[in-house]
Amino acid sequence: MKALCSDARTAHQFINDLPSKLDFGRVSFLAANVRENRMTELKIHEHHEQAAQHYEHAAKHHREAAKHHKAGNHEKAAHHARIAFGHYLEAGEHQNHAARQHAKEHS
């Protein structure tokens, strides 16, 4: 089987290779704890604002991905699609924190 060089890789291969190459070990565990603490300190309206901002950023990166895909630059399209997905996940976390805080305050 022919070895794939970076130019010959498909967008699917590029995206599938990302998680295996991103191994930050203990650093990401510590960052997650700091991030979780910061998330719990935000007020409900701040979570809603942050969620909205992340959805806007996701939309921007989806538009960039579409533009690059149409131009045939699939690696850049995959890059922007991956960033968009990250913003989508962040927005969802803010949404969940806002919902939890709403439930705590109003139940």
Question: Concatenated DSSP letters for the chain?
Answer: -PPPPTTT--HHHHHHHHHHH---THHHHHHHHHHHHHHHHS-HHHHHHHHHHHHHHHHHHHHHHHHHHHTT-HHHHHHHHHHHHHHHHHHHHHHHHHHHHHHHHH-
Is residue 67 one of the residues assigned to a domain? yes
Here the tokens at position 63 are 């538009």
What is the distance between the alpha carbons of residues 90 and 104, in angstroms, rounded to a whole number?
Answer: 21
Q: Give per-residue pLDDT as tens, 21-61.
A: 444 454 454 455 555 666 767 889 999 999 999 999 999 99
Query: What pLDDT, on a 0 to 100 scale, did the predictor assign at position 41?
Result: 75
**pLDDT exceeds cutoff 90 at 7:** no
Q: Give per-residue pLDDT as tens, 74-99.
A: 999 999 999 999 999 999 999 999 99
Is residue 86 one of the residues assigned to a domain? yes
Is residue 33 one of the residues assigned to a domain? no
Closest by CA to 78, choosing from 89, 69, 87, is: 69
The amino acid at 27: V
Is residue 73 one of the residues assigned to a domain? yes
Is residue 68 one of the residues assigned to a domain? yes
Query: What pLDDT, on a 0 to 100 scale, did the predictor assign at position 67?
Result: 98
What is the distance between the alpha carbons of residues 79 and 14, in angstroms, rounded to a whole number?
Answer: 8
What is the distance between the alpha carbons of residues 72 and 82, in angstroms, rounded to a whole number?
Answer: 17
* Total domains, the chain: 1
Is residue 80 one of the residues assigned to a domain? yes
The amino acid at 52: A
Is residue 19 one of the residues assigned to a domain? no
Is residue 5 one of the residues assigned to a domain? no
Residue 64's domain comprises 60-96
- 2-11, 65-74, 87-96: range with lowest mean pLDDT: 2-11
